Chains A and B, each alone.
Chain A
Amino acid sequence: MSAAASKTGLFDCRDAYVATLEALGAENNDIVAVVNDSVGSSKLGKFRDTFPERLINVGIAEQNMVGVGAGLANGGKVAFVSGASCFLTGRSLEQVKADVAYSQANVKLCGISSGVAYGELGPTHHSIEDVAWLRTMGNIDIIVPADPWETEQAIRHAAATEGPVFIRISRMGVPALERPEDAQFQIGKAEVLHTGDDAAILANGTVVCRALEAAKTLAAEGIHVRVVNMSSMSPIDEAAILAAAQTGAIVTAEEHSVRGGLGGAVAEIVAQHTPCRLKILGFAGFQPTGSAEFLMEQAGLTAEHIAASVRTLLDR
């Protein structure tokens, strides 16, 4: 892991993404990167300088970018298509559907600056619908990594797997999560990061570290909460969700719309199998302007608010 922590001890997962892609690109000549004038925001400058022929910049043209990625895959390439997640998914949604997912093309869609990373730029640049859009399609793995290690694992999984993958990459600083030495990423498997049977917090992406903090606060109060990292959104770990439902109370937390994301997926599963108390934390519709942190606070995606949501749910 070559990505360095900032002075605050937080990591930008884009660094893990590009470091992994550069390493894989050196091992495999068939790995190519496709971008929409987003070399800078995707941090792919070094990849371009090292492998100039394998960095294809199609300009500001997202539909074309995804189609070109599918074409490169047809020509035997492993195409990593990177762009701001809001445009990569939204502007080219039909290309994602027809050319990538339905065609089972060997394309890896890397949505950069997902969620509310571009908070101040307003809802056009927020990407809080992307998981919901792609989750309905099938044929595409969806991964929302929580930290640099998991970002690296997601990229390695994508490169090693024939077929479509969407990886949702943040630029919001996150700490490196503590894991056992032998931890392994496995698509479709959730990761229990904190044990407890009083309630469960299911989270992914940038919110996982906040969920862990909430669990520690609650533990000091004698409330023992399980924290499950649901980075694999498709396929999703139904067994882990049903096990969480056995605690009787689930809080979901994600940097995404409350409709159709992790909360929606959990609701679909528990409502059909093991109904339990459920609180879905995330963004309800278009957001105002403000920094990412401000918007996260507004939506209750802070450790304090997640802990409060657990208490409220247990009092119900």
Chain B
Amino acid sequence: MPMPQPLSQSGADTAQRVAHVRTMARWVRQRALRMAFEAKQGHPGGDLSVTDILATLYFDAMRYDPANPRWAGRDRFILSKGHATGALYSTLAKAGFFPEDELTSYMQPLSRLNGHPNRVKIPGVETNTGPLGHGMPIAVGIAIAGQIDKTDYRVFVTTGDGELQEGSNWEAAMTAGHRKLSNLTLIVDRNRLQQGASTEDTVTLEPLADKWRAFGWAVEEVDGHDIAALLPLLDGSLARDKPLCIIANTVKGKGVSFMENKAAWHHGIPNAEQFAQAMQELEA
């Protein structure tokens, strides 16, 4: 079996890679929003903030084989902020893990696409998430397994920023720093809003970069919607000897003017008129 190669290893130039990821991200945003609109449920604000990160991982950086989703050599991704299923399911479908048509079943009775991802049912999902603060320890465990086996797969985990208020993340951060898990990358979807209010008004996270450095991590800060800036951080070209935390500054509700930076769209659902306008804006 030929080893599946990600776009980042294909010889495509940066402009081609950025253009491809951007095209995919546009599709994922529109599809995710349609899912929430049709299901009348979901988390569109968080879907739209994390989309460019997901698109860069799945359509440029990561090595995987949708025909063999549990291929031992695959790069792993864990969406710790498991409520952003609109973005995750759209991405996985576009990447070929299951038919795009199935996205219409989102949150319908007996659908395998429930409001939070299930690894037993959905190919490409690595662990069941939903309750917050779970993804990091699991990603650390996978990275340790890779370290023991001296394999070259990489492990990515995305948490929300508000999610970092869960203490289990910091338990895992200590373990990762202690063990110098250089095969582990955390991307914090730093949109600065949690369900009810801003993170800084709820429980302050800043100075966030210093916290990770203090735990023994390398830290990079980036505009989480700047695909050209995300590529070199996620494609494995960055040399390092410790786990990497990417603080991706994002906008909740990114791409829809009336949703951007508004906590109400954490799980708000657009009406028909709003949906039409949003889809038009996301076309740009």
Report A's interface with B, CB cutoff 8 A: 32, 34, 53-54, 56, 58-59, 61, 63-77, 79, 94-95, 98-99, 102-105
Q: A76-B145, A77-B145 are in contact. Are A67 and B131 (CB under 8 A)?
A: no
Residue B134 at the chain A interface, CB threshold 8 Å: yes
Complexed CA–CA distance, A243 and B189 (Å):
57
Number of A-B contacts (CB under 8 A): 110
Contacts of A105 in B (CB 8 A): 127
Contact B134 A69 (CB under 8 A): no
Q: Considering only CB atoms, which chain B residue lies closest to A32 in the complex?
A: B148
Return the contact of A74 from the options B118, B120, B138, B167 (Cβ within 8 A). Answer: B138
Return the contact of B134 from the options A32, A34, A65, A98 (Cβ within 8 A). Answer: A98
Contact A98 B140 (CB under 8 A): no
Given A64-B172, A99-B127: 7 more A-B contacts, CB < 8 Å: A67-B172, A68-B175, A70-B127, A72-B145, A74-B76, A77-B145, A103-B127
Q: Considering only CB atoms, which chain A residue lies closest to B147 in the complex?
A: A53
Most buried by A among B129, B130, B139, B168: B168
Contact B137 A68 (CB under 8 A): yes
Complexed CA–CA distance, A65 and B140 (Å):
10
Return the contact of B148 from the options A53, A66, A73, A99 (Cβ within 8 A). Answer: A53
Q: Considering only CB atoms, which chain A residue lies closest to B135 in the complex?
A: A67
Return the contact of A75 from the options B119, B120, B145 (Cβ within 8 A). Answer: B145
Contact A98 B131 (CB under 8 A): yes
Q: Considering only CB atoms, which chain B residue lies closest to A73 in the complex?
A: B141
The secondary structure that dominates the A interface is helix
Which residues of B (117-163) have their CB < 8 Å from a CB of A? 118-120, 126-131, 133-134, 136-146, 148-149
Return the contact of B144 from the options A56, A63, A66, A102 (Cβ within 8 A). Answer: A56
Q: A59-B175, A68-B172 are in contact. Are A74 and B137 (CB under 8 A)?
A: no
Contact B171 A75 (CB under 8 A): no
Contacts of B171 in A (CB 8 A): 58-59, 61, 63-64
Contact B134 A99 (CB under 8 A): yes
Return the contact of A71 from the options B72, B118, B119, B140 (Cβ within 8 A). Answer: B140
Contacts of A71 in B (CB 8 A): 127, 137-145
Residue B164 at the chain A interface, CB threshold 8 Å: no
Complexed CA–CA distance, A105 and B137 (Å):
14
Q: A67-B134, A68-B141, A103-B119 are in contact. Are A74 and B174 (CB under 8 A)?
A: no
A to B CB contacts below 8 Å, 18 in the list: A56-B144, A59-B175, A71-B127, A71-B139, A71-B141, A75-B144, A75-B145, A75-B146, A76-B149, A79-B141, A95-B134, A95-B137, A95-B168, A98-B131, A99-B138, A102-B120, A103-B120, A105-B127
B209 to nearest A CB, angstroms? 22
Contacts of B141 in A (CB 8 A): 34, 67-75, 79
Q: A71-B137, A74-B141, A104-B120 are in contact. Are A64 and B128 (CB under 8 A)?
A: no
Most buried by A among B72, B129, B137: B137
A56 to nearest B CB, angstroms? 6
Contact B168 A67 (CB under 8 A): yes
Contact A66 B137 (CB under 8 A): yes
B150 to nearest A CB, angstroms? 10
Q: Considering only CB atoms, which chain B residue lies closest to A36 in the complex?
A: B171
Q: A32-B148, A75-B145, A103-B119 are in contact. Are A64 and B134 (CB under 8 A)?
A: no
The list of the 8 closest CB pairs from A to B, nearest first, reads: A71-B141, A75-B145, A67-B137, A64-B171, A61-B171, A68-B141, A71-B138, A63-B168
Q: A54-B148, A67-B141, A68-B140 are in contact. Are A103 and B128 (CB under 8 A)?
A: yes
Contacts of B137 in A (CB 8 A): 63-68, 70-71, 95, 99
Contacts of A61 in B (CB 8 A): 168, 171-172, 174-175
Most buried by A among B126, B136, B141: B141
A58 to nearest B CB, angstroms? 5
Contact B127 A64 (CB under 8 A): no
Q: A58-B171, A67-B140 are in contact. Are A74 and B126 (CB under 8 A)?
A: yes
Contacts of B118 in A (CB 8 A): 102
What 0/1 pattern do residues 165 to 180 of B give for CB contact below 8 A with A? 0011001101100000
Contacts of B138 in A (CB 8 A): 67-68, 70-71, 74, 99
Complexed CA–CA distance, A65 and B139 (Å):
12
Contacts of A76 in B (CB 8 A): 72, 145, 149
Complexed CA–CA distance, A183 and B134 (Å):
41
Contacts of A77 in B (CB 8 A): 145, 148
Complexed CA–CA distance, A56 and B168 (Å):
17
Complexed CA–CA distance, A79 and B142 (Å):
11
A185 to nearest B CB, angstroms? 27
Return the contact of B131 from the options A32, A65, A72, A94 (Cβ within 8 A). Answer: A94
Complexed CA–CA distance, A312 and B71 (Å):
61
Q: Considering only CB atoms, which chain A residue lies closest to B116 in the complex?
A: A98
Q: Considering only CB atoms, which chain A residue lies closest to B141 in the complex?
A: A71
